[in-house]
Structure 1
Amino acid sequence: MAGLIKREDVDAVRDRAPIDEIVGAHVTLKSAGVGSLKGLCPFHDERSPSFHVRPQVGRWHCFGCGEGGDAISFVQKIDGLSFTEAVEYLADKAGVQLRYEEGGGPRRQGEPGQRQRLLEVHRVAAEYYSEQLFGPGAGAARAFLAERSFERADAEHFGIGYAPTGWSHLMDHLRGRGFTQAELTASGVVSEGRRGVYDRFRGRLMWPIRDLTGEIVGFGARRLYDDDQGPKYLNTPETPLYKKSQVLYGIDLAKRDIAKSKQAVIVEGYTDVMAAHLSGVTTAVATCGTAFGSDHARIVRRLLGDTSPAGGLQLRSGTSVGGEVIFTFDGDAAGQKAAMRAFSEDQRFYAQTFVAVEGSGMDPCDLRMARGPEAVRALVDGRQPLFEFVVRTTLQDYDLTTAEGRVGALRAAAPVIAGIRDTALRPEYARMLAGWIGMDEPAVLRAVKNAPRLAGPDEHALRPHRSEPEAESVSDGPRLPEPDPRDPAARLERQVLIGVLQYPLAADADTFDALDADAFATPAWRAVHEVIRGVGGLTAARATPGRWVADVVSAAPEHVAPIVNRLAVAPMPEDRPESIDAYVRDVVRTLVDMGLARRIADAKGTLQRLDPSDAAYQQAFADLLSIERQRRELREAG
């Protein structure tokens, strides 16, 4: 069993892991004020961005679902890793050499966690396949590419390879590189059956399938030989790395252009992705052996930054306010069925959804071969709204020359239009439907109004969340009352904690650290202040400012740590960089001044209850003068 990673090495990983880049590989982040970024949460469906990242403190938090933490916890959650595996993954990225504690059996040199080992299996396998593509036995693979107008440079760009015929070529190669049989099986590159253990992919053209970060998590394989009794396309089975409902081929190449152009093009196959990219449609991606589903939609929405409630509103340039998702399908019955499935996912997007179907039934790969790259671009440019395509496809099943056919078409199409998320579009499509089927507009409008909506995604899951809540609550541990956001004192206390957690060097350490345990009246904020005092206050922050928040979170009780994290990521009320330090000093002084004001009031109340001739009166009077002098000096210093 491996020993624990040394604490100082974990800290070094936290210090050197750029959280904005790590999160940015999965979420499109936009500026949310000075030092703050925000985007759509990758851990729950949302329409309004409530996921915030604050790079200078190395923390992230979603104000919608409550998840939060540092770079390590983000990698753990997004990739399903253990703590050790996440640290090892980030250490490899950041170039940190990890050391392990004695007693648990430190890891051998070069023995990382399971995920890293499986990724390494795929990396070495991809290199092997690529080398084989240009060997003497891969003539059929090269011919397949050439027949589709793909050149050697194209194959190298997409990392295409060839799995040679035979039962154990790759397995022998990987074993020679030091991988165990258990690792090969877990990665999915080998299979086990009556013949024993053998290469899963044999005599096939190979596409490496990468995740958002560019890591190879699986392979797609195309049959080349007539005597191959397997399926036309064979993919990696479900593994710890490869979940077919959560991967999109080409996403690593397309992600930046998707985010930049606010357009995602969904095609049906690997060669279609290649043809689209080589034709200039660099936002194309494809599912891998499964229909486009909710997990795929979530990935695309995050990259689009799909947050605009404008949805289907169109700009004059033709690009919708919320961006565009364009589905391309074959013009045959299967393609139309796929388009109908895509309609069920439309409600997951604020972006406007379109369908691009080539009239003669050619897919992007065929189109590029027959008519050139311009035709592929024209296919995408000639997209039509998904609603229109679905309604027209629905009408094809009815004879509109008969009264029975028209009524049947209305009954079938009305629920489709009733299910359109954008209420402003519904009457427009109802009017169009009236024209298509030849019925009076009022009758069609009534039918749409009264029609049941088609089943769509869980509306509750898509409900907007507050993106910057004043109220903070926790679900684990002792229940702390939620602060009242209308209470100016509670609001000031919150602003002070946000300031000293995010900018510990800005406030005067002596002034803040002199605050006693009763300085914060709000229970949640008092709990955070107690933790800050416990780790040594701002004086301690001076020694290790880069680890300040991590130290406070580590010291906090389980029910307080999430509150600390939220405060460390919350947007600053002051959004001018040049004024941040002054703002933090001012709110701290204001809190101290407010505390002194309370003490002055208490001291005056005490004097009123005492006899002036009593010795206690003289002491109370001296205490009042001392407190008033402190307050005067504080104000003069400010």
Structure 2
Amino acid sequence: MAYQIPEETINRIKNAADILEVVGEYVVLKKAGRAYTGLCPFHAEKTPSFTVSPEKQVYYCFGCQAGGSLFSFLMRLEGLSFGDAVRRVAAKYGIEVPVANMSPEQKARLTENERILAVNEAAMRFFQETLADGVEGARAMSYLVGRGMTRNIIQRHQLGYAPNRWDGLSRHLEKQKVPDDLLRKSGLVVPRKDNRGHYDRFRDRVIFPILNLSQQVIGFGGRVMGDGKPKYLNSPETPVYNKRRCLYAMDKANRAARATGKVYVVEGYFDVLAMHLFGIENSVATLGTALTPEHVQLLKGMVGRAGHAILVFDSDQAGLNAAQRSVEVFEAGYLDARILVLPKGHDPDTFLREKGPDVFLKAADNALAMMPFIIEMAIDTHGLSLEGKIKVVDEMQAPLAAIQDSLARSLYVKQLAERLNIDEAAILDKIRRKAAQHAPIGGRSRSAAADKSTGAATAMVDRGRLEMRIIAMMLHCPAMIPEIVGRNVIDDFEDDQCRSLARMVVRQGDRPADRGLDLPASIDDPEMDSLLARLAIEDNRWDRQGCERLLAQFEDRRRRRLRQDLQRRIESAEKNNDMELLAKLLMQKQQQAGRGLTKL
């Protein structure tokens, strides 16, 4: 739970921040009228349905119905609490979130994520200082220099060294009053088997800090300098670190990837550092895991709809297998990807040092698209004998079935048939049968949560369509809010959620705002948050006459509802033979008819 951030601080952050700038770190946006559009980071799509309105300072996806403020964007994308999201934005714009007036209880309630990030930051500084130590860090520094790392690369990537001690980091952090439970939750220490104390996870290793797009330290990788095992050791999963959702050096590569519309994906830390050393800064690496749908969404956010990824693999069997496994993931994520397999015995580090960046970039320009690559790989593996062709077709069934575009699939089937010199229809029949059985992997289809959100929002639309139109009017024509309040319109809303949302808008509308109506920063219910964003982002034309017609329609419906309700009560009184109540109700009906219910 986050402590209470002063409302004036939240408003100051909102007024200073720009949702285009915040969202633009994750999504390539292009201007479309008064709004901006891009590929949604919350679900896989090939046609942009994600919209950001700088005027209303909201985002909304017309594909998966995710929407809200810049704070809810970070909350949804990175799993942050509201307090964490506010502090993230505050740090970006140099605004201090006050903590001086916090009580001891409030300090104790600082979010776990925030505390872990602070511990990681302190650990990174410790590792850096140890590497810079002329005595304790001398061997590690010599190792890095021997691997061709320059002082600039070491500093820019904030490399460090974990000393060859069981408790080097632990003792350092304990002196800073970091509690044991937080050390364990950060993954920096490992509990002893008898559960009496702990020891440092990273010892006598070169350390690679792993940062997110907001430049926060979320984890670490460590490499031994000799023959120790394992060669590489990464942080375990923690509340702030999920290897399926992050890429090494993505914080450094993001800007260059956007500028070029291209991102290189390599396999290791030193490969990334070598790429950056030779000026190819649009390069990232996976963190000890195969490429996932979440990785594809990250990469797509870097390069945009027209961009592409180049996967750089070693020529060994493991590299080739990794390339083949990647096909379905990229097809499901609608991201164009190409594969560059380096000559035998080379990785990006050795190839760049031996051949230079120009030769590497030329080879990358000639990289094959994923499907032609794995066709050629299958033929190289099995050959073109009768048995070989059968094995090639069997091996190509799943990758071809993963292609959602029927035209693209047909063209690749034709290419395969020509290479094998066999009947295209026979291959196509097998692929179609496989495609019918093929279930989309994670990231391709909308999540159950998204479906639930859509269903709830649709039900709300059906229940309170007129009420929602009034809320939309309040968002687009805030000058009408006093009149809506004066007529007691909101009190007579039939839908409880609409009534709650309208009152929230009224409270926000009472405050002056620099950019149109000051929308609520955060709503506890994400469905309501998304609905408000949708209503705010709709580009409807509102004028005074249209607003008056809508209010007249609502009041007419209200009169009909009251008449119907009164008639039901009269019929009930007659049925129960309650003459006293019946007389009162008939009197009310007569009074209503007399004054026409003009004032309700």
**Normalising by structure 2, what TM-score?**
0.79
CA distance in 1 between counterparts of 2:438 and 2:6 reads 52
Deviation at 1:510, TM superposition (A): 6.8
Equivalent runs, 1:233-272 vs 2, <5 Å: 233-272=232-271
Which of structures 1 and 2 has the larger relative contact order (alpha carbons within 8 angstroms, sep 6+)?
2
Corresponding residue for 2:547?
591
Kept in 1: contact 2:69–2:522 (CA 8 A): no
Say yes or no: does 1:501 pair with 2:475.
yes
- Evaluate the alpha carbon distance shift between residue 186 and residue 594 of structure 1 in structure 2; reply closer, same or farther with a 3 A threshold: closer
CA distance in 2 between counterparts of 1:418 and 1:76 reads 35
Corresponding residue for 2:284?
285
2:489 maps to amino acid: A
Equivalent runs, 1:109-120 vs 2, <5 Å: 112-120=110-118
1:481 maps to amino acid: D
Deviation at 1:62, TM superposition (A): 3.1
Q: Report the 3-state secondary structure (helix = DSSP H, G, I; strand = E; otherwise coil) of the residue aligned with 2:462.
A: coil
Corresponding residue for 1:126?
124
- Evaluate the alpha carbon distance shift between residue 475 and residue 207 of structure 1 in structure 2; reply closer, same or farther with a 3 A threshold: same
Say yes or no: does 1:26 pair with 2:26.
yes
Say yes or no: does 1:213 pair with 2:214.
yes
Q: Report the 3-state secondary structure (helix = DSSP H, G, I; strand = E; otherwise coil) of the residue aligned with 1:396.
A: helix
CA distance in 2 between counterparts of 1:531 and 1:445 reads 53
- Evaluate the alpha carbon distance shift between residue 12 and residue 330 of structure 1 in structure 2; reply closer, same or farther with a 3 A threshold: same
Kept in 1: contact 2:484–2:490 (CA 8 A): no
Kept in 1: contact 2:313–2:339 (CA 8 A): yes
Kept in 1: contact 2:293–2:333 (CA 8 A): no
> Relative to structure 2, which stretch is displaced further, 433-442 or 163-172?
433-442
Say yes or no: does 1:517 pair with 2:485.
no
- Evaluate the alpha carbon distance shift between residue 513 and residue 552 of structure 1 in structure 2; reply closer, same or farther with a 3 A threshold: farther
- Evaluate the alpha carbon distance shift between residue 480 and residue 100 of structure 1 in structure 2; reply closer, same or farther with a 3 A threshold: farther
Equivalent runs, 1:470-619 vs 2, <5 Å: 475=456, 479-481=460-462, 497-498=471-472, 500-502=474-476, 504=478, 507=479, 517=489, 532=502, 541=510, 543=512, 548-550=517-519, 563-568=531-536, 570-573=537-540, 584=542, 586=543, 588-592=544-548
Deviation at 1:418, TM superposition (A): 4.4
Kept in 2: contact 1:88–1:113 (CA 8 A): no
- Evaluate the alpha carbon distance shift between residue 183 and residue 438 of structure 1 in structure 2; reply closer, same or farther with a 3 A threshold: same
Corresponding residue for 1:612?
none
Corresponding residue for 1:376?
360
> Relative to structure 2, which stretch is displaced further, 417-426 or 152-161?
417-426
CA distance in 1 between counterparts of 2:230 and 2:437 reads 34
CA distance in 1 between counterparts of 2:489 and 2:473 reads 18
Q: Which runs of 5+ in 1 are unaligned?
A: 307-321, 465-471, 485-489, 574-582, 601-619, 627-638
CA distance in 2 between counterparts of 1:456 and 1:163 reads 45
2:379 maps to amino acid: L
1:286-343 per-residue CA deviation (whole Å, 9 max, x = no partner) reads 111111112211222233333xxxxxxxxxxxxxxx3212111100111111111112
Kept in 1: contact 2:82–2:522 (CA 8 A): no
CA distance in 1 between counterparts of 2:426 and 2:549 reads 70
1:124-162 per-residue CA deviation (whole Å, 9 max, x = no partner) reads 222222232233333443343333322111211221111
Say yes or no: does 1:98 pair with 2:98.
yes
- Evaluate the alpha carbon distance shift between residue 3 and residue 128 of structure 1 in structure 2; reply closer, same or farther with a 3 A threshold: closer
Q: Report the 3-state secondary structure (helix = DSSP H, G, I; strand = E; otherwise coil) of the residue aligned with 2:320.
A: helix
Kept in 2: contact 1:13–1:96 (CA 8 A): no
1:373 maps to amino acid: P
CA distance in 2 between counterparts of 1:64 and 1:21 reads 22
Corresponding residue for 1:332?
316
2:24 maps to amino acid: G
Q: Report the 3-state secondary structure (helix = DSSP H, G, I; strand = E; otherwise coil) of the residue aligned with 1:406.
A: helix
1:398 maps to amino acid: H
Corresponding residue for 1:317?
none
| 1:432 paired residue among 407, 411, 415 | 415
Deviation at 1:277, TM superposition (A): 2.3
2:388 maps to amino acid: G
Kept in 1: contact 2:312–2:339 (CA 8 A): yes
| 1:420 paired residue among 389, 403, 412 | 403
| 2:346 paired residue among 338, 358, 362 | 362
Corresponding residue for 2:59?
60
CA distance in 2 between counterparts of 1:269 and 1:439 reads 40
Corresponding residue for 2:388?
405
Q: Report the 3-state secondary structure (helix = DSSP H, G, I; strand = E; otherwise coil) of the residue aligned with 1:328.
A: strand
Corresponding residue for 1:487?
none
1:36-86 per-residue CA deviation (whole Å, 9 max, x = no partner) reads 333333333334333333344343333333333333333333332333444
CA distance in 1 between counterparts of 2:169 and 2:85 reads 28
Say yes or no: does 1:197 pair with 2:198.
yes
Q: Report the 3-state secondary structure (helix = DSSP H, G, I; strand = E; otherwise coil) of the residue aligned with 1:248.
A: coil
Task: Give the total of aligned pairs.
Answer: 558
Corresponding residue for 1:146?
145
Corresponding residue for 1:274?
273
Q: Report the 3-state secondary structure (helix = DSSP H, G, I; strand = E; otherwise coil) of the residue aligned with 1:96.
A: coil
Q: Report the 3-state secondary structure (helix = DSSP H, G, I; strand = E; otherwise coil) of the residue aligned with 1:220.
A: strand
CA distance in 1 between counterparts of 2:532 and 2:321 reads 50
1:591 maps to amino acid: C
Deviation at 1:501, TM superposition (A): 1.0
Kept in 2: contact 1:129–1:206 (CA 8 A): yes
Say yes or no: does 1:341 pair with 2:325.
yes
CA distance in 2 between counterparts of 1:527 and 1:483 reads 9
Kept in 2: contact 1:519–1:595 (CA 8 A): no
Identity of aligned residues (%): 29
1:216 maps to amino acid: V
Kept in 2: contact 1:276–1:376 (CA 8 A): no
1:209 maps to amino acid: I
1:301 maps to amino acid: K
Kept in 2: contact 1:528–1:563 (CA 8 A): no
Q: Report the 3-state secondary structure (helix = DSSP H, G, I; strand = E; otherwise coil) of the residue aligned with 1:184.
A: helix
Kept in 2: contact 1:3–1:100 (CA 8 A): no
- Evaluate the alpha carbon distance shift between residue 393 and residue 482 of structure 1 in structure 2; reply closer, same or farther with a 3 A threshold: farther
Deviation at 1:205, TM superposition (A): 1.1
- Evaluate the alpha carbon distance shift between residue 561 and residue 85 of structure 1 in structure 2; reply closer, same or farther with a 3 A threshold: closer
**Normalising by structure 1, what TM-score?**
0.74
Which one has the bigger helix percentage? 2
Kept in 2: contact 1:328–1:357 (CA 8 A): yes
Q: Report the 3-state secondary structure (helix = DSSP H, G, I; strand = E; otherwise coil) of the residue aligned with 2:27.
A: coil
- Evaluate the alpha carbon distance shift between residue 442 and residue 369 of structure 1 in structure 2; reply closer, same or farther with a 3 A threshold: same
> Relative to structure 2, which stretch is displaced further, 405-414 or 352-361?
405-414
Q: Report the 3-state secondary structure (helix = DSSP H, G, I; strand = E; otherwise coil) of the residue aligned with 1:370.
A: helix
Deviation at 1:219, TM superposition (A): 0.7
Corresponding residue for 1:610?
none
2:309 maps to amino acid: V
2:377 maps to amino acid: T
> Relative to structure 2, which stretch is displaced further, 155-164 or 112-121?
112-121
| 2:373 paired residue among 386, 389, 392 | 389
RMSD between superposed Cα atoms in Å:
4.3
CA distance in 1 between counterparts of 2:74 and 2:343 reads 44
1:52 maps to amino acid: T
CA distance in 1 between counterparts of 2:78 and 2:56 reads 22
- Evaluate the alpha carbon distance shift between residue 236 and residue 549 of structure 1 in structure 2; reply closer, same or farther with a 3 A threshold: same
Corresponding residue for 1:352?
336
- Evaluate the alpha carbon distance shift between residue 459 and residue 511 of structure 1 in structure 2; reply closer, same or farther with a 3 A threshold: same
Deviation at 1:215, TM superposition (A): 0.9
Q: Which runs of 5+ in 2 are unaligned?
A: 448-452, 557-592
